[in-house]
């Protein structure tokens, strides 16, 4: 929760600074730093203790769970595009962060446009917040469906809450879903906006 506030603060300071001073960080510099970030995120995911064996135990459920989360997100983002001033590709692309707002926002503003990057950043911040608020209630209806709402954040920010609200087995599946979606976010966003 503190993290989200600090990240929003960094963005807001940047917006004020850019708006008032007219200074813009050169796009090539941002791309360079973005590559370093993506590299380090890769190292971080790979280094997670016993990540391969943790995933292997429930691999069938984890893959099914991840596919359902992706289909549900994209299907409803497509429906949302009829009510929004964005195309199907833009709306689905904005939703493709699955809650990972920092990476999706930055990637889309570099690959496509700062406008849609902003939309994506905010919509993924909202997704994480909605999931934090709703997950304990949704888990009473169905644990696995509730885990889907957490998207890529199921492996880190939401994991504690998920372990409180769901069974041990579903917590493991949730962790796996977070790993798979985190791996897919940079790939899916690249392919949508290439």
Enumerate residues 127-156 that contact other proteins by CB under 8 A.
Answer: 127, 130-131, 134, 138, 141-149, 151
Closest by Cα among 79, 101, 93 to 151: 101
Phi and psi at residue 193, to the nearest 5°: -105, 15
Q: Does 178 bind other proteins (CB under 8 A)?
A: no
| Distance set, CA 74 to CA 46, 71, 116, 170, 175 (Å) | 27, 5, 16, 23, 21
Residues in contact with 100: Cβ distance below 8 Å, sequence separation at least 6, in sequence order: 124, 151, 152, 153, 181, 182, 185
Q: Does 4 bind other proteins (CB under 8 A)?
A: no
Please tell me the distance from the alpha carbon of residue 179 to that of residue 54, in angstroms, as a whole number. Answer: 11
Q: Does 161 bind other proteins (CB under 8 A)?
A: no
- Give me the least distance between CB of 155 and other proteins, in Å please: 14
Q: Nearer to other proteins by C-beta: 46 or 160?
A: 46
Which of 55, 62, 94, 158 forms a contact with other proteins (CB under 8 A)?
A: 94
Q: Nearer to other proteins by C-beta: 75 or 160?
A: 75
Q: Nearer to other proteins by C-beta: 39 or 160?
A: 39
Pattern 51-90, other proteins, x by CB under 8 A = xx------------x--xx-xxxxxxx-xx--xxxx----
Q: Does 37 bind other proteins (CB under 8 A)?
A: yes
Q: Nearer to other proteins by C-beta: 144 or 178?
A: 144
Which of 4, 122, 136, 156 forms a contact with other proteins (CB under 8 A)?
A: 122
162 and 144 Cβ atoms separated by less than 8 Å: no
Which of 175, 178, 186, 188 forms a contact with other proteins (CB under 8 A)?
A: 186
Q: Nearer to other proteins by C-beta: 1 or 47?
A: 47
Phi and psi at residue 152, to the nearest 5°: -75, -20
CA angle 190, 54, 182 (to 5 degrees): 15
172 and 58 Cβ atoms separated by less than 8 Å: yes
């Amino acid at each position: 929760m503190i993290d989200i506030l600090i990240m929003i603060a960094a963005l807001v300071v940047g917006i004020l600074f850019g708006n008032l001073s007219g200074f813009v960080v050169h796009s090539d510099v941002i791309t360079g730093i973005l590559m370093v970030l993506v590299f380090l995120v890769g190292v971080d995911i790979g280094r997670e203790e016993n990540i391969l064996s943790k995933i292997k135990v429930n691999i069938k459920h984890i893959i099914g769970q991840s596919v359902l989360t992706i289909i549900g997100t994209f299907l409803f983002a497509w429906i949302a595009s009829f009510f929004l001033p964005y195309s199907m590709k833009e709306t689905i692309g904005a939703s493709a962060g699955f809650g990972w707002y920092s990476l999706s926002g930055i990637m889309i503003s570099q690959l496509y446009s700062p406008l849609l990057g902003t939309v994506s950043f905010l919509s993924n911040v909202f997704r994480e917040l909605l999931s934090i608020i709703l997950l304990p209630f949704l888990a009473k209806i169905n644990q696995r469906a509730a885990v889907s709402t957490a998207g890529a954040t199921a492996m880190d920010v939401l994991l504690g809450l998920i372990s409180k609200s769901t069974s041990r087995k579903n917590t493991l599946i949730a962790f796996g879903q977070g790993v798979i979606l985190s791996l897919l976010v940079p790939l899916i966003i690249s392919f949508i906006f290439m």
